[in-house]
């Protein structure tokens, strides 16, 4: 076995270069974003240690309020997720299962039909053709030729 190796066309090379440059740009963007987030985090920690205790308490209170709001959003998302899972289970039990049962019944019916046709139609036709071929061969051996119109 030999494999033919084809050279990439110019458009394929350009597409490859574009995809690698896009990937490189995406990676650089993510790295820059992470550096900015880490820098802001470090700056925030430094600012909290240098600030007055009352200002730190205000930031703490705001952070607690934000976390409470976030936990409410997560709770709402979980409730929506549970409702969606329940509707999916309902769909699977009440709609998909009957369709699968009907499909299985159809497959069993088709198996029975093909077995019936095989036994009652195809086998006799095959036997008849075999007998006719044997008769034709016997007639050829006896020297009797069939006339073709």
Return the C-alpha torsion angle 6, 12, 13, 19, nearest 10. -140
Is the pLDDT at 36 greater than 90, yes or no? yes
Q: Which residue has the higher pLDDT, 147 or 79?
A: 79
| Contact predicate 48/56, CB 8 Å | yes
What kind and span of H or E run contains 118?
A: none
- CA atoms of 107 and 123, how far apart (whole Å): 22
**In angstroms, rounded to a whole number, what is the distance separating the alpha carbons of residues 87 and 92?**
9
What DSSP character marks residue 14? H
Dump pLDDT digits (tens) for 42-66. 887 787 777 677 777 877 888 888 8
The rounded distance, in Å, linking the Cα atoms of 20 and 26 is: 10
2 DSSP 8-state letter:
-
Average pLDDT over residues 32-36: 94
């Amino acid at each position: 076995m030999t494999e033919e190796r084809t050279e990439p066309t110019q458009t394929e090379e350009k597409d490859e270069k574009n995809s690698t440059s896009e990937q490189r740009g995406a990676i650089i963007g993510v790295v820059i974003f992470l550096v900015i987030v880490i820098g802001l985090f470090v700056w925030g920690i430094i600012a909290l240690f240098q600030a007055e205790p009352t200002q730190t308490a205000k930031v703490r209170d705001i952070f607690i309020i934000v976390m409470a709001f976030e936990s409410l959003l997560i709770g709402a998302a979980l409730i929506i997720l549970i409702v969606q899972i329940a509707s999916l289970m309902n769909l699977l039990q009440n709609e998909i299962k009957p369709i699968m049962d009907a499909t299985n019944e159809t497959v069993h019916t088709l198996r029975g039909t093909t077995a019936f046709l095989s036994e009652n139609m195809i086998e006799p036709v095959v036997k008849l053709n075999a007998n006719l071929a044997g008769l034709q061969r016997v007639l050829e051996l006896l020297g009797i030729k069939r006339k073709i119109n």
